[in-house]
Chains A and B, each alone.
Chain A
């Protein structure tokens, strides 16, 4: 177990090292003139070391626009992005898991073909384009769902955690639950758009997993015992079909985050994507290495964490604990 953990952490360190080198290179190319403290160092190696110590110290530099510390700002924005990603994940699970299970249960029937066709169409539509179309919805629907921003402007909610669902609950004294509901309303359209491609992915995974389970011997045995189909599906198949999907979803994380960043620009949501976009447009290039480190750092940390947890809870994966396997 220990050697496994060390190997994983080793991987984490090596990747983090490469990332900091990239971040340092970007940082150097944009601040070669302005950052005197680093330039005082004799060569790139020492400059890199002092950059690395700054990073470890939590000092990612300051925005040249509003002089705010980049790490704190970036994390707050990133939290908003994560909130969007998780709500999209939630919505797509709600839509896709039942559909995937149906498609798996009725494999190669009309229902299956129908579900898979819709899913493929969803995958084929570019998220960015769907976003732009969604923004035009009020022209058809009128006053139904908001299409712009994280929260209605009538609520002046101070940013505490960056997760607006939490922040809005902190101001219930002032606005009651209205701000919270308003936040949910603002999340619906962007999350739906973002869930488009996730839905396809989850349907495919669930369908496959369900098919595998339905073909397994214990299901056959259950049939042979004379159990009803409903009982087999509910008590035996479902329970075993869903868990294998979860680790697969982890692989979608980076794609979801990058799509979320484009969606933020379309829906004018404050998140890390819009933050990077507007800062770069305004010539504040220092946010680029900071933003990159925050996003990649999170993905790296998260995937290794999930892997470790999977190993701990899943007996099948414990094989990887041993070096020679």
Chain B
């Protein structure tokens, strides 16, 4: 038996030493200045001008780049970023920006700038999007992307370089959204010198995959297994970051991300699964950061279909939908039920004392008095893949289908994807469409225009095929009006109109969720432009 006890003791000692290893395998100093962010998806590129998926924005906008102006999250006002100041001309067509001096672009292994940031870089960044002849215009295939250049192509007529540190933006017509657009993720400033160098070397595509910017972190590497490494930009012109190494890693599984947050392998994780939220909110070592976004899930009625032409029918159908159940079954705690297109944070939102309009019986009676044809089957078109604004289209459609069945309206669900869906939307052969809108700038026009303008096609957002002269004039009016009070007023009118006519049923405003370890402070999340680690601090809790 002595043999056994000796062996067992040795074994136990060995196992104990293995377990105690965890205490010493971590390099405290290195751990404290390294921040690891575990994300769901790989970025599609490192240029927010060409990629507007959230993974790309998180990986680029605040980390690598700066814009001319930015939005102060506290006051909701535009504040200078790379521009020092700006003036608007009396005719409201010219905006003149004075640029900051002595700002250096990143010094990296693959590029060393020889001059500071100047007007040429601003011109390059915008002309790449606007000028079809620009050598970089077609680089990395953005021609096919609708969102590329779209925000500025109708807005700007040209950009002039006044001197090395002054640029002038000339608008095609008065438009107050210029500043909001310049603060958006797609208005980041790139280095012209780097672009020229890449072009000379015959590798222009590198500009979007090995980015150079003026931001707080510089890009180090991106490997095929989804690891992005950034380093502190030692030459940053604002407050220096506390984090020396910033690392992103892609873990598509939400369970894995949560496990890694608990095991200390991740400091921040994106998109915790809806089902984990309750456990996370109870854990004192995790801070759940939820930001309401303007991204909205909608049910669009095709107003060109005979059966849905009457706004009273659309209203009655909206009444039949039990949004509360949809929220519980599809979104868990990751969205807020809504009755308006604009989110609560929008300055243009007309406060509406909103009755929960779900009233199945009332809806049925209303349809009966309207002589609605109950024998017709309504089609519900749904995209096959989940989107930012809806984690499960099909489940949502099924709930709507059963709500409609309650009032005696038959509905069929049609799941389509990609080009088949686009073609169907283009043909107009559908009754309703379950959709949503992903908003990129903090201006109501960015929601209303794609959804309601006659010029916007169903593929671009107007899936209700709504076109009314009254809406159109209100849209134009609010866009050209620089008197803020007047602008708000026209948006109020527009919202009243939409609420009455009901081309869309707003279902939910989606939350952006990030779970942050309590040892990490000051991580800022902007629902429009992405996460910001510039001010993040990692503290030792042990």
Contact = CB atoms under 8 A, between A and B. Distances in A.
Given A102-B4, A154-B245, A176 B27 contact: yes
A188 B18 contact: yes
Interface stretch (A38-46, A135-143, A239-247, A305-313): A135-143
Contacts of A143: 22, 262-264
24 contacts: A65-B224, A94-B14, A138-B260, A138-B262, A139-B262, A142-B262, A143-B22, A144-B19, A147-B259, A148-B263, A153-B34, A154-B31, A154-B34, A154-B36, A154-B245, A156-B229, A181-B24, A184-B21, A185-B21, A185-B22, A188-B21, A230-B2, A234-B3, A268-B251
Interface string B237-266: 000000001010101000110111011110
Contacts of A268: 251, 256
Nearest to B263: A138
Contact of A94 (B11, B22, B34): B11
A270 interface: yes
Interface in A122-175: 135-139, 141-149, 152-156, 175
A155 B229 CA distance: 11
A146 B265 contact: yes
Given A153-B247, A154-B247, A188-B18, A146 B263 contact: yes
Interface in A278-293: 278
A178 B262 contact: no
A107 to B, nearest CB: 15
Contacts of B395: none
Contacts of A148: 251, 256, 259-260, 263, 265
A102 B7 CA distance: 11
B263 A175 contact: no
B408 to A, nearest CB: 46
B25 interface: yes
B30 interface: yes
B42 to A, nearest CB: 11
With most chain A CB atoms within 10 A of its CB, the pick from B34, B224, B245, B251 is: B224
A182 B256 contact: no
Given A138-B263, A147-B263, A149-B265, A181 B21 contact: yes
A144 B22 contact: yes
Contact of B255 (A102, A136, A230): A136
Interface of A: 65-66, 94-95, 98, 102, 135-139, 141-149, 152-156, 175-176, 178, 181-182, 184-185, 188, 230, 233-234, 268, 270, 278
Contacts of A146: 263-265
Nearest to A134: B259
Interface string B52-81: 000000000000000000000000000000
B26 interface: yes
Contact of B25 (A137, A156, A185): A185
B155 interface: no
A165 B64 CA distance: 34
Nearest to B262: A138
A152 B265 contact: yes
B13 to A, nearest CB: 12
A136 B4 CA distance: 34
Interface in B29-49: 30-31, 34, 36
A175 B227 CA distance: 20
With most chain A CB atoms within 10 A of its CB, the pick from B34, B255, B262 is: B262
A209 to B, nearest CB: 17
Interface of B: 2-4, 7-8, 11, 14, 18-19, 21-22, 24-27, 30-31, 34, 36, 224-225, 227, 229, 245, 247, 249, 251, 255-256, 258-260, 262-265
With most chain B CB atoms within 10 A of its CB, the pick from A152, A154, A155 is: A154
A146 B263 CA distance: 6
A233 B3 CA distance: 9
Nearest to A145: B22
Contacts of A153: 34, 36, 227, 247, 249, 265
Contact of A147 (B8, B25, B245, B265): B265
A147 B260 contact: yes
Given A143-B263, A148-B265, A135 B247 contact: no
A139 B259 CA distance: 6
Contact of A178 (B25, B225, B249, B255): B25
Contacts of B247: 153-154
Contacts of A270: 225
With most chain A CB atoms within 10 A of its CB, the pick from B7, B19, B21, B25 is: B25
B30 A175 contact: yes
A188 B251 CA distance: 21
A184 B21 CA distance: 9
Contacts of A176: 27
Contacts of A182: 25-27
A62 B264 CA distance: 37
A228 B265 CA distance: 53
Contacts of B30: 154-155, 175, 178
Contacts of A144: 19, 22, 263
Nearest to B4: A102
Contacts of A185: 21-22, 25
Contacts of A136: 255, 259
A135 B21 contact: no
With most chain A CB atoms within 10 A of its CB, the pick from B30, B31, B258 is: B30
Given A136-B259, A152-B26, 10 more contacts: A66-B224, A94-B14, A147-B256, A154-B27, A156-B229, A182-B25, A182-B27, A184-B25, A185-B25, A188-B21
